[in-house]
């Protein structure tokens, strides 16, 4: 098997915040009834984390689960761990109406970090990115300029951004533009 | 002569001189000057020519309401027209040019219009240029456009960048004068997130110029203290140079921040457009002074009284040595007092009121200023510059009682609250008889989703005048326990509405009284409009152009509608105002676009193979937001030659296609088969796992909306391929039906389009290429036509579909996007010895057209049903229902007269024009030639060596062999024979090998 190559492998920009394209990561879409015991048990056994509340993301050891819609979850894991997790979930859900599918290659991930990182996001998303609205554990599905995206905190002053793979360059470019040194807003 | 005073100027730094140019001439101003104050300080009072009559004009205001002093600023990639000199902060190297004159500001040929003014009344253009009709477009309009107009249009791409910023606050206070500061302090005490914005670079509004003490200290110091106190608050954010531009539904506010306009530099945003969600909006936008309508009120040297003292106090600039003040209210006395205190002469205050008494009047008298009451200006003397005023009784026809020599006139017709932002989202106004102004009606505020008011007007914007009244009005929003700011109340005489000066002026005087400086609308024009039956203020506005253009009537609206109401004999509130629309003052297009420019103008979607295409001569074609190679150009090759080569190579050897943009949607669940049976016209539930089937998708009106191959993965799982354009909307279409109609069906979908790169390996040698790459059995026996299999190619996991859109032996290989490039490289390398070449979208189109395969968007246009295309074989007769089935049974859909798909072959072998119609005998009801069909796809076929086309023709399939006439854009026709749409390999032998 060849080495997996993500959309913008290695791209980075050092502005008043740092923008980095992240290497491939495992992502698995799970659709099902969150209320069902089978699904809850399957997720817990295969990923080691519970199903998160609306709008939240829960982190485990090398894994995370995000709520994407009332019947859709996204499991994050190591790129290499995907087959095992997919099979684990599929087996556990064999008798349940659910969909488990690998979507690791469909998206691009970025890390945006720095003291004024929220300002970079606030230039691009209509969502409230203030600490009150977008604190740790929240995954906000929104748009960045003209494309859909998801954003969540991964550290004190760091966020991860998820977008579709085909627009990775666009998202990198707008994040870069929003982080130009000297364009700090001094808002948050 | 306008000049810089020896002393004064609270906003300028005399220690820092700045050089700038005006019409190419170098001048000097100070740090803190506006362009207007710097021009005046340089004696440059002439700043432009008026719009229609090209009259010489000077600056008349000191703020954003300025109608006259509009400039072309900058040059080249930083050129910008129609910028107000009054709000343009001076910087080193600023370049300004005055507008609307030729050949020069001093010598303007267009001024001839001024002398012809009586032949250019309101509605002149409408009345004059009506006949002949065609002359408007070709003769009159181009000529009028040339002679009218303000600034020039920029020619170069903007050198600057712009950005947006989204903010979410509890209270947004717009306006940083004493009302806004008081409101912000009050709101901050409430504990919510508060944002206070001020359009200028300075806090305090008019107070530092006009007010006495607040809380026992000077207004200047009080403002400074207030800002310091607000800066201390954690929950308050302050921005200057940030104008509230518009208030919209749901507490959405646009604010326009000027970041580097006053200090241009590369690489930093010039403007920032704030997109604010506020729970409450407090409008503290102050008031704008009105001009008085007397003859010659536009002669350079006539200025609003408040502006005259602004220039003196803020920038140390005098408008003249001898200034006559003319007023209908007490406020203008501040100007007389300020000028006198600055050592300038005020020969008289002409007060139109009979016997006004108040503190300011008393103070002016005490300073020895001559006050004449009951009097006004009959006319201004001087043409390009004020030389004096002719004085008359206000209650007269303008008989001159005295002439006073002067070089400046300061006028005040009272103050109009800035109600724009209050009004943008539906706030209503009431006519304040005592204040002679419209002010916000507190009972009819803009309301939010809950029906509660979300905008509050405070201070002068709410009709409060005088420091004490303004502070009290703004403090009313404070929670209990917040200390109210205190100022001494003022005793003032009431304003007297003066809409025309003198009251009995005859036509000659009225036709020199300017209401709207920017559009050259006079009192006589509005009166004429009223006589001609324009009763509505909206119609009068459009007929006369009153209140149009860049200033949107900030000075002229109230005066204009007062004149109109007088002419109509109706009360002002009955006539009403025109609608206030955002933005408050013009904002840059750049700020609206934000990041949407240059490379990020639109998202450009790239497949995992994009980089390879780019490096291998791709000639791009936009397909939605994707870029796909139209063809790959080899050295020295034309586009046509490349397409021809790619088609032939695919037919004769092997071609490679990037098919990653095609949609891939997974549908899984016990009801997935039933679901697809409803979505597609044919039967999908009977498809065996491992097999593929082509399907058609219609909307509920029966029209064909998408097509593609469905592969059954297992008992519960199907993979649906869509067109490139269909990927998102077909997925949405599926979800809509599942979520709204069939919510109890057990089906989940997932759009996997971007998960995979999809590579087409197409042509007679396709199998050999894949066998060389190696890893799985792709033989005819292992993988017959219309099957799929999982496996490995070159050590990479793949799913291979044996499907064909070209009529050739063809494999489509889905590979995870992160491995897409690696697989493509392996296949391209292996293909080299077989002559493999990539092919683009045009070759793809030609290949499918040669085979008579339809293309969504070519053969379909939203009005075509599958039956029109001879696709009855793909419509299940057995199924009880599918989306579109009932619609396809409607009488119109089953009409034998519907145009149906056929092939078309020109007799001379040429390519039919795209979109060409087959003409028929006679004409229709509109006098147009009757038609009997049209071309839907047309190409040159490299394989066959002649033009091929598909088209929809009435009774087409029954008319095989018949020759039709198709029209051409040059007026001629071309003959084409009706043939089968399958031009190449009708038996399908090539794809089934």
Residues B206, B248, single domain; the answer is: yes
Chain A contact set for B626 (CB, 8 A) = 166
Specify the pLDDT at position B672: 98
CA distance B829 to chain A (A): 15
What average pLDDT score do residues B274-289 get?
A: 98
What average pLDDT score do residues B120-146 get?
A: 66
Residue B32 lies in a domain: yes
Residues B504, B442, single domain; the answer is: no
CA distance B864 to chain A (A): 32
pLDDT band at B301 (very low <50, low <70, confident <90, very high): very high
What average pLDDT score do residues B356-362 get?
A: 95
Residue B131 has pLDDT above 70, yes or no: no
Of B50-64, B702-716, B959-973, least confident by mean pLDDT is: B50-64
Residues B744, B766, single domain; the answer is: no
What average pLDDT score do residues B807-835 get?
A: 98
Q: What percentage of chain B has pLDDT greater than the value 90? A: 88
Residue B133 has pLDDT above 80, yes or no: no
Residue ranges of domains in chain A: 12-23+106-178, 26-102
Q: Are strands B349-351 and B521-522 parallel, antiparallel or unpaired?
A: unpaired
Q: Which among A136, A128, A17, A139 has a CA at the least distance from the CA of B165?
A: A128
Choice between A125 and B519, residue whose per-residue pLDDT is larger: A125
Superfamily of domain A26-102: Heterotetrameric sarcosine oxidase (3.30.70.1520)
Spatial distance between the Cα atoms of B329 and B862, rounded to a whole number of angstroms: 67
Chain A contact set for B275 (CB, 8 A) = 126
Residue B442 lies in a domain: yes
**For the domain A12-23+106-178, what is the CATH code?**
3.30.1360.120
B604 contacts A105? CB cut-off 8 A:
no
Q: Are strands B415-417 and B287-289 parallel, antiparallel or unpaired?
A: antiparallel
Residues B954, B967, single domain; the answer is: yes
Q: What is the pLDDT of residues B164-184, one digit of tens each?
A: 999 999 999 999 999 999 999
Q: Which among B537, B539, B543, B542 has a CA at the least distance from the CA of B560?
A: B537
Cβ B793 vs Cβ B826: under 8 Å: yes
Strand partners, B71: B83, B98
- What are residue B540's phi and psi, to 5 degrees? -60, -40
Chain A contact set for B277 (CB, 8 A) = 128
Q: Report A:81-120 residues touching B (Cβ under 8 A).
A: 97-99, 101-107, 119
Residue B863 lies in a domain: no
A103 contacts B755? CB cut-off 8 A:
yes
What average pLDDT score do residues B826-830 get?
A: 98
Residue finishing a domain among B506, B535, B570: B570
**Total H helices, total E strands in chain A:** 4, 11
- Looking at every residue in chain B, the average pLDDT score rounds to 94
Q: What is the pLDDT of residues B764-799, one digit of tens each?
A: 999 999 999 999 999 999 999 999 999 999 999 999
> How many residues can be counted in chain B?
993
Spatial distance between the Cα atoms of B299 and B276, rounded to a whole number of angstroms: 42
- What are residue A84's phi and psi, to 5 degrees? -65, -45
Provide the CB-side half-sphere exposure for B533 (13 A, CA): 0
pLDDT band at B211 (very low <50, low <70, confident <90, very high): confident
Cβ B323 vs Cβ B409: under 8 Å: yes
Q: Which among B958, B967, B964, B959 has a CA at the least distance from the CA of B976?
A: B964
The 3-state DSSP class for residue B589 equals helix
Residues B409, B424, single domain; the answer is: no
CATH number (domain holding residue B218): 3.50.50.60
Instruction: Show the tokens assigned to B52.
Output: 């229609």
Model confidence, pTM: 0.94
Could you list the residue range(s) of the whole structural domain that residue B8 is in? 3-114
Specify the pLDDT at position B128: 64
Residue B119 lies in a domain: no
Specify the pLDDT at position B829: 98
Residue B212 has pLDDT above 90, yes or no: no
Q: Which among B665, B966, B600 has a CA at the least distance from the CA of A171?
A: B600
Strand partners, B408: B323
CATH number (domain holding residue B54): 3.10.20.440
Whether A23 contacts chain B with CB within 8 A? no
Residues B808, B703, single domain; the answer is: no
Specify the pLDDT at position B60: 97
Cβ B765 vs Cβ B835: under 8 Å: yes
Q: Which among B352, B339, B354 has a CA at the least distance from the CA of B378?
A: B352
Quote the distance between the C-alpha of residue B248 and its chain's center.
15
What average pLDDT score do residues B312-320 get?
A: 96
Specify the pLDDT at position B152: 84
Q: What is the pLDDT of residues A41-66, one digit of tens each?
A: 999 999 999 999 999 999 999 999 99
CA distance B817 to chain A (A): 5
B755 contacts A104? CB cut-off 8 A:
yes
What average pLDDT score do residues B803-807 get?
A: 95
Residue B148 has pLDDT above 60, yes or no: no
DSSP string, B385-411: S--EEEEEETTSS--EEEEEE-SEEEE
**Residue at token pair 């003859």:** B295
Q: What is the pLDDT of residues B688-697, one digit of tens each?
A: 999 999 999 9
A127 contacts B166? CB cut-off 8 A:
yes
Specify the pLDDT at position B312: 97
Q: What is the pLDDT of residues B397-443, one digit of tens each?
A: 999 999 999 999 999 999 999 999 999 999 999 999 999 999 999 99
Whether B599 contacts chain A with CB within 8 A? yes
Whether A124 contacts chain B with CB within 8 A? yes
Spatial distance between the Cα atoms of B624 and B626, rounded to a whole number of angstroms: 5
CA distance B590 to chain A (A): 14
Q: What is the pLDDT of residues B540-565, one digit of tens each?
A: 988 888 988 888 899 999 999 999 99
Chain A contact set for B819 (CB, 8 A) = 1-2, 4-5, 105
Spatial distance between the Cα atoms of B260 and B266, rounded to a whole number of angstroms: 9
Residue B729 lies in a domain: yes
Q: Model ipTM?
A: 0.97
pLDDT band at B449 (very low <50, low <70, confident <90, very high): confident
The angle formed by the CA atoms of residues B867, B869 and B872, to the nearest 5 degrees, is 40
Residues B532, B428, single domain; the answer is: no
pLDDT band at B469 (very low <50, low <70, confident <90, very high): very high
Residue B20 lies in a domain: yes
Q: How many domains does chain B have?
A: 7
Biggest CA pair distance of chain B: 114
Instruction: Show the tokens assigned to B968.
Output: 């051409």
Residue finishing a domain among B726, B754, B782: B754
Residues B104, B63, single domain; the answer is: yes
Provide the CB-side half-sphere exposure for A36 (13 A, CA): 15
Residues B714, B771, single domain; the answer is: no
Q: Which among B826, B847, B848, B818 has a CA at the least distance from the CA of B660?
A: B818
Residue B837 has pLDDT above 90, yes or no: yes
Strand partners, B680: B697
- What are residue B278's phi and psi, to 5 degrees? -120, 135
Residues B190, B271, single domain; the answer is: yes
Residues B458, B514, single domain; the answer is: no
Does the CA dihedral B189-B192-B197-B202 come out positive or negative? positive
Chain B contact set for A97 (CB, 8 A) = 669-670, 746, 748
Residues B763, B840, single domain; the answer is: yes
pLDDT band at B309 (very low <50, low <70, confident <90, very high): very high
Whether A21 contacts chain B with CB within 8 A? no
C-alpha distance from residue B478 to each of B175, B188, B471, B535, B767 (Å)? 17, 9, 11, 43, 81
Return left, alpha or beta for A72; rule: phi > 0 is left, psi -120 to 50 is alpha, else beta.
beta
């Amino acid at each position: 098997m060849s080495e997996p190559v993500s959309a913008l492998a290695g791209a980075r920009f050092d502005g008043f915040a740092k923008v980095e394209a992240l290497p491939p990561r495992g992502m698995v879409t799970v659709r099902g009834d969150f209320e069902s015991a089978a699904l809850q048990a399957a997720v817990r056994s295969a990923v080691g984390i519970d199903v998160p509340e609306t709008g939240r993301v829960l982190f485990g050891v090398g894994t995370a689960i995000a709520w994407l819609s009332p019947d859709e979850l996204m499991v994050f894991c190591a790129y290499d761990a995907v087959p095992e997790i997919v099979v684990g979930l599929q087996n556990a859900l064999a008798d349940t109406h659910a969909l488990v599918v690998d979507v690791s290659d469909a998206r691009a991930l970025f890390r945006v970090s720095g003291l004024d990182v929220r300002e970079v996001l606030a230039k691009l998303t209509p969502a409230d990115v203030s600490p009150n609205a977008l604190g740790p554990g929240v995954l906000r599905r929104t748009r960045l300029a003209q494309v859909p995206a998801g954003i969540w905190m991964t550290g004190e002053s760091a966020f991860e951004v998820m977008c579709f793979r085909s627009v990775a360059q666009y998202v990198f470019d707008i994040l870069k533009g929003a982080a130009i040194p000297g364009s700090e807003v001094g808002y948050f | 002569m306008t000049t810089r005073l020896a002393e004064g100027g609270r906003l300028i730094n005399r220690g820092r001189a700045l050089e700038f140019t005006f019409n190419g001439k170098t001048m000097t101003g100070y740090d803190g000057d506006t362009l207007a104050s710097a021009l005046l300080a340089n004696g440059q009072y002439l700043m432009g020519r008026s719009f229609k009559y090209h009259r010489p004009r000077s600056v008349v205001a000191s703020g954003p309401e300025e109608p006259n002093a509009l400039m072309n600023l900058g040059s080249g990639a930083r050129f910008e027209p129609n910028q107000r000199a009054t709000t343009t902060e001076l910087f080193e190297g600023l370049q300004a040019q005055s507008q609307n004159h030729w050949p020069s500001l001093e010598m303007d040929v267009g001024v001839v219009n001024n002398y012809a003014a009586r032949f250019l009344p309101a509605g002149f253009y409408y009345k004059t240029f009506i006949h002949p009709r065609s002359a408007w477009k070709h003769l009159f309009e181009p000529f009028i456009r040339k002679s009218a107009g303000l600034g020039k249009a920029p020619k170069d791409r903007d050198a600057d960048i712009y950005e947006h910023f989204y903010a979410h606050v509890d209270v947004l206070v717009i306006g940083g004068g004493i009302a806004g500061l008081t409101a912000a302090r009050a709101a901050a005490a409430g504990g919510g997130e508060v944002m206070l914005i001020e359009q200028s670079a300075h806090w305090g509004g008019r107070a530092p110029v006009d007010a006495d003490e607040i809380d026992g200290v000077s207004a200047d110091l009080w403002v400074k203290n207030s800002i310091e106190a607000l800066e201390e608050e954690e929950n308050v954010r302050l921005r200057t140079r940030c104008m509230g531009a518009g208030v919209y539904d749901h507490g959405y506010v646009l604010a326009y921040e000027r970041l580097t306009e006053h200090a241009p530099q590369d690489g930093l945003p010039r403007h920032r457009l704030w997109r604010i969600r506020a729970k409450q909006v407090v409008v503290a936008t102050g008031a704008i002074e009105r001009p008085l309508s007397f003859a010659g009120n536009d002669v350079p040297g006539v200025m609003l009284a408040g502006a005259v003292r602004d220039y003196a106090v803020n920038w140390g600039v005098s408008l003249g040595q001898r200034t006559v003040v003319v007023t209908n209210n007490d406020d203008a006395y501040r100007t007389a007092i300020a000028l006198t205190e600055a050592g300038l002469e005020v020969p008289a205050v002409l007060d139109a009121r009979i016997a006004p008494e108040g503190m300011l009047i008393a103070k002016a008298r005490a300073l020895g200023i001559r006050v004449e009451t009951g009097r006004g200006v009959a006319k201004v003397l001087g043409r390009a510059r004020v030389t004096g005023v002719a004085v008359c009784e206000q209650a007269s026809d303008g008989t001159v009682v005295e002439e006073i020599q002067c070089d400046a006139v300061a006028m005040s017709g009272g103050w109009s609250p800035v109600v724009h932002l209050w009004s943008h989202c539906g706030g209503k106004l009431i006519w304040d008889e005592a204040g002679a102004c419209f002010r916000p009606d507190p009972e009819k505020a803009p309301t939010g989703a809950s029906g509660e008011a979300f905008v509050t007007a405070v201070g002068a914007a709410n009709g409060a005048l005088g420091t004490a009244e303004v502070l009290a009005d703004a403090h009313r929003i404070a929670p209990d326990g917040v200390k109210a700011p205190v100022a001494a109340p003022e005793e003032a005489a009431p304003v007297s509405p003066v809409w025309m000066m003198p009251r009995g002026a005859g036509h000659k005087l009225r036709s020199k009284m300017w209401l709207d400086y920017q559009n050259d609308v006079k009192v006589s024009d509005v009166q004429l409009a009223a006589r001609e039956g324009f009763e509505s203020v909206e119609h009068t506005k459009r007929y006369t152009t009153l209140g149009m253009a860049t200033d949107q009537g900030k000075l002229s609206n109230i005066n204009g509608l007062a004149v109109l109401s007088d002419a109509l004999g109706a009360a002002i509130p009955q006539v009403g105002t025109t609608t206030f629309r955002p933005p408050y003052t013009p904002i840059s297009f750049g700020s609206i676009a934000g990041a949407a420019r240059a490379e990020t103008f639109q998202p450009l979607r790239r497949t995992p193979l994009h980089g390879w295409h780019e490096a291998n001569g791709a000639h791009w074609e936009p397909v939605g937001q994707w870029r796909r190679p139209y063809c790959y150009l080899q050295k020295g090759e034309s586009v046509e030659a490349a397409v021809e080569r790619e088609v032939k190579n695919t037919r004769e050897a092997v071609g490679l296609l990037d098919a990653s943009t095609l949609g891939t949607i997974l549908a899984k669940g016990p009801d997935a088969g039933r679901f697809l049976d409803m979505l597609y016209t044919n039967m999908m539930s009977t498809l065996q796992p491992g097999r593929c089937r082509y399907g058609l998708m219609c909307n509920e009106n029966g029209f064909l909306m998408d097509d593609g191959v469905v592969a059954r993965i297992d008992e519960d799982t199907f993979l649906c391929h869509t067109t490139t354009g269909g990927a998102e909307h077909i997925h949405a279409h599926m979800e809509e039906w599942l979520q709204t109609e069939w919510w109890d069906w057990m089906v989940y979908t997932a759009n996997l389009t971007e998960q995979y790169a999809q590579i087409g390996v197409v042509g007679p040698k396709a199998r050999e290429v894949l066998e060389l790459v190696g890893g799985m059995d792709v033989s005819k026996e292992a993988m017959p036509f219309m099957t799929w299999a999982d496996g490995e190619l070159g050590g990479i996991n793949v799913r291979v579909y044996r499907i064909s859109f070209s009529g050739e032996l063809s494999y489509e290989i889905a590979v995870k996007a992160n491995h897409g490039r690696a697989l493509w490289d392996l296949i391209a390398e292996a293909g080299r010895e077989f002559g493999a070449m990539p092919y683009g979208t045009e070759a793809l189109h030609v290949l499918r057209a040669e085979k008579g395969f339809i293309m969504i968007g070519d053969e379909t246009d939203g009005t075509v049903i599958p039956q029109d295309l001879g696709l009855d074989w793909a419509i299940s007769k057995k199924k009880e229902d599918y989306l579109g089935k009932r619609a396809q049974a409607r009488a119109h859909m089953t009409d034998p007269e519907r145009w149906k798909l056929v092939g078309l072959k020109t007799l001379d072998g040429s390519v039919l024009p795209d979109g060409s119609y087959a003409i028929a005998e006679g004409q229709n009801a509109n006098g147009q030639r009757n038609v009997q069909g049209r071309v839907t796809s047309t190409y040159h076929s490299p394989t066959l060596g002649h033009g091929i086309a598909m088209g929809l023709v009435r009774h087409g399939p029954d008319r095989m062999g018949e020759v039709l006439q198709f029209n051409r854009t040059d007026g001629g026709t071309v003959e084409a024979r009706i043939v089968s749409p399958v031009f190449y390999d009708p038996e399908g032998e090539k794809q089934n090998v």
